[in-house]
Amino acid sequence: MDKIVIDGGRRLKGQVEISGSKNSALPILAAAILTSEESVIENVPQLRDISTMIKILKDLGARAHQEGNVVTIRPGDNINHVAPYKLVSTMRASVCLLGPLLGRLKKAEVSMPGGCVIGARPIDLHLKGMEMLGAKITIEHGNVKASAKRLRGADMYLGGPFGSSVLATANIMMAATLAEGITRIESAASEPELVDLANFLNSMGAKVRGAGSHLIEIEGVKKLHGTRYKVIPDRIEAGTFMVAAALTKGDIRLKNIVPEHNNALLDKLREAGVGVETNRTSARITYRRKIKPVDVTTLPYPGFPTDLQAQMMSLMTVTQGISVITEKIYPDRFMHISELNRMGSKIHLEGNSAIVAGVKRLSGAPVMASDLRASAALVLAGLVAEGRTDVHRVYHLDRGYERIEEKLNSIGAKIWREKE
């Protein structure tokens, strides 16, 4: 097992190219099995989660491989409806195979999903949507089994206790492309990754309208075909580097991004006094003056993303004053607090809000990553801390950031990987 080592205290300056979106690529790869024909998907990051999804597709009977940032998938005519526990249990996003398997084969068996331990994330909305399309759902021995003689379009409401569900919306959207009639999803998630999935499905011959709004309409078709498609840039990776620029008093230009996908973060950075310049495909984030504390509340898109909460907290730890960070998507997503406090931060938790009292400096320390975005937050903290920081369980980081050490070193960081 590897760990990441950071020699902190260096100002970051330069240019970084952002990779393709992991959270777009995973459901798009799953959606490729809605047809027997070949699809070629470009701008796919080389990550552990992507490799896992490709292995699952192969296990289902598809031909799939990645060369650089291009994934080619030829499902063929003999797709298996059972997704393997050994692989599915390691990655929550693999639950998005349920929709395309049910849509194409009218039956699916997928293990209950695994992944990061950041609190309860039930899949009841996925199952509710499938049942409304006409599927019979049972859960046996930890597996979700879905079957239907035929799927029929339906009107459904997919709002949950913490807002809309991205993966549930994706799953229903994919299954409904091959259902009879029209499906309308109210309280659908509106994230850019869902717009990307809808555009991919439409390029296969689907009829999806309204993606990006809270009402999505899918008119079922009889058959889909293969396609060639390019995945959007990763807004969470982009946001992580934006915070890194502010945290290290740096000056970073980000290439290959869609700035409006990060409007909520950019608004908070401006509020904090950080310099922000954007154009159509790039942004420049510059430290200008003393950063001010800001309060943050995570919300479904276009609100502040939960996947940037931990990184923003790292910035606030060294921002003089008091800031309050409230988590309304995953209330238990605060396991990075104890590790940041080991580095000298002053954070205490009250319910689903973290109260951050900024300190003058952090000090390097051995810390343990609990999930993907917590890993990024600890790396960011290490970049500004005095001395050496060792981030253990770096396999979390490898699930979501492509060549992060290489990118950080190219703009002035001193970061490397060591065997435990």
Instruction: Decide if pLDDT at 243 tops 50.
Output: yes
* CB contact at 8 A, 306 and 326: no
Q: Distance (Å, rounded) from C-alpha 56 to C-alpha 354?
A: 38
Instruction: Decide if pLDDT at 414 tops 80.
Output: yes
Mean pLDDT over the full length of the chain: 95
Q: Distance (Å, rounded) from C-alpha 166 to C-alpha 49?
A: 17
Instruction: Decide if pLDDT at 111 tops 50.
Output: yes
Instruction: Decide if pLDDT at 59 tops 70.
Output: yes
Reading across the β-sheet that carries 322-326, which strands appear in turn?
A: 296-297, 322-326, 353-357, 346-350
High-pLDDT (> 90) share of the chain, %: 87
What is the arithmetic mean of pLDDT over 96-113? 93
pLDDT score, position 89? 80
pLDDT score, position 115? 44
Tokens of 200: 């991919």
Q: What amino acid positions are annotated as catalytic residues? A: 116
Instruction: Decide if pLDDT at 121 tops 60.
Output: no
pLDDT score, position 1? 82
Candidates 369, 406, 370; CA nearest to 390 is 369
Tokens of 63: 């031909």
What is the arithmetic mean of pLDDT over 13-19? 98
HSE (side-chain half, CA atoms, 13 Å) at 420 = 11
* CB contact at 8 A, 13 and 389: no
Please, what are the domains in the chain? 2-19+233-419 (3.65.10.10), 22-230 (3.65.10.10)
pLDDT score, position 91? 85
- More confident: 139 or 367: 367
pLDDT digits (tens, 9 = 90+) for 180-208: 999 999 999 999 999 999 999 999 999 99
pLDDT score, position 113? 67
Residue type, 222: K
Calculate helix-pair angle for 309-317, 372-384, nearest 10 degrees: 20
Burial (0-12, 13-18, 19+ Cβ within 10 Å), 277: exposed
Residue 382 binned pLDDT confidence (cut-offs 50, 70, 90): very high
Sign of CA dihedral 3, 234, 342, 334: negative
HSE (side-chain half, CA atoms, 13 Å) at 234 = 26
pLDDT score, position 206? 98
Whether residue 161 is preceded by a cis peptide bond, meaning omega within 30 degrees of 0, is no
- Other beta carbons within 10 angstroms of residue 418's beta carbon come to 10
Distances (CA, A) of 89 to 56, 85, 93, 95, 108: 11, 5, 10, 9, 16
Residue 93 binned pLDDT confidence (cut-offs 50, 70, 90): confident
- Other beta carbons within 10 angstroms of residue 69's beta carbon come to 18
Looking at the whole model, is its pTM more than 0.75?
Answer: yes
